[in-house]
Homo-oligomer: A and B are copies of this chain.
Amino acid sequence: MSGNSMGLLFTVTSFGESHGPGIGCIVDGCPPGMALSEADIQAELDRRKPGTSRHVTQRREPDTVEILSGVYEGKTTGTPIALLIRNTDQRSKDYGNIADTFRPGHADYTYWHKYGIRDPRGGGRSSARETAVRVAAGAIAKKWLHEQYGIVIRGHMTQIGDIAIPFRSWDEVGNNPFFAADASKVDELEAYMDSIRKSLDSVGARLRVVADNVPVGWGEPVYDRLDADIAYAMMNINAVKGVEIGAGFGCVTQRGSEHGDELTPEGFASNHAGGILGGISTGQQIDVSIAIKPTSSIAQPRRSINKAGEAIMVETHGRHDPCVGIRATPIAEAMLALVLIDHALRHRAQCGDVHVDTPRIPGRIG
């Protein structure tokens, strides 16, 4: 409970540093009897893997996952599933010169004051490398949610720096290095990212992640609301600075007559709520957006201090994503899956046998 576990009933406990022996997690609470193999998890890991295009870090990590427990003859047994990803491309020397300084925008200063000790190699525990673990755990959650309920969780980038990316089709997301749902924007994005990289700078991003086919009735009433747990999950992703559900900040200028989604026998007339009312799912699409800050590691000189408190200049060379937001899409999907499976299990516990005659209306009118 010291900030490395998430979930009440489907609990992921994570470990590992960027340049230690490995990273991994224990997934406790996965229901028994689901087919699961390392390949199922690897497929999701490969979507987040570094080195897949020139627009992301060139660190070469195969990110190969090993299942250490909890699966017998290809099926989950209901006991903890331990996952291990060995670190292979560690190059500690890249980081030696930063052990006594605090990089702007990084957790160096805060870790140092909190713990009094800091693993400076690649950011140690604060490295975004840890997010591979979430993608691995999320792959298990995603699979279960899909098999049990037909739930589909998908994400796409909606903005990179100054360039907005419209939604055209889910089919396009997997075919470009930007998780863009509009392939016609890819050339522009490539040129834009190249210019950012050449200017030794980085840029922020915005992405959207949605879940379809979530049943009505998941969530809690006061705390642990479904939207609150989603906001918690998203803000736990490195570099995220904002979270929106449905209309998000757009609701500030809406009128109640516009925002409140009307119900009809044929379905909801709109989805400004983003699929959640009173902390509980409506059966509409769960719709989440997040803002991701620009990469803090840039090769420009920046002011900082050292451990003695003296003024210094810092430049961070190395293999950094110029836009950390790009690889965040599979991470955000994973986090949404982890929240949903936890609430799926909570719902079975508390209200699993509830039945009402009222029909469940469809998500959206035709």
Contact = CB atoms under 8 A, between A and B. Distances in A.
A91 interface: no
B305 A361 contact: yes
Contact of A125 (B31, B77, B249, B357): B77
Contacts of A285: none
Interface in A339-366: 345-361
A284 B192 CA distance: 33
A112 B351 CA distance: 11
Given A68-B21, A110-B280, A114-B280, A228 B236 contact: yes
A161 B304 CA distance: 40
A148 to B, nearest CB: 9
Interface in A149-168: 159, 161-162
Given A162-B253, A201-B257, 4 more contacts: A161-B252, A225-B236, A242-B249, A259-B294
A192 to B, nearest CB: 12
Contacts of A159: 252-253
B5 A204 contact: no
Interface stretch (A45-53, A179-187, A213-221, A326-334): A213-221
Interface residues of A, number: 166
Contact of A256 (B79, B223, B296): B296
Nearest to A215: B113
A95 interface: no
CB-based closest 4 A-B pairs = A3-B220, A107-B278, A105-B260, A202-B256
A157 to B, nearest CB: 11
Contacts of A105: 256, 259-261, 273, 277
Contact of A79 (B4, B296, B305, B357): B4
Interface stretch (A55-63, A169-177, A262-270): A262-270
Contact of A110 (B202, B234, B282): B282
A260 B242 CA distance: 16
Contacts of A5: 5, 11, 13, 28, 223
A318 interface: no
Contacts of A282: 109-110
A252 B291 contact: yes
Given A29-B350, A249-B206, A77 B244 contact: no
Contacts of A202: 255-257
A96 interface: no
A116 B269 contact: no
Given A204-B252, A245-B242, A117 B32 contact: yes
Contacts of A196: 255
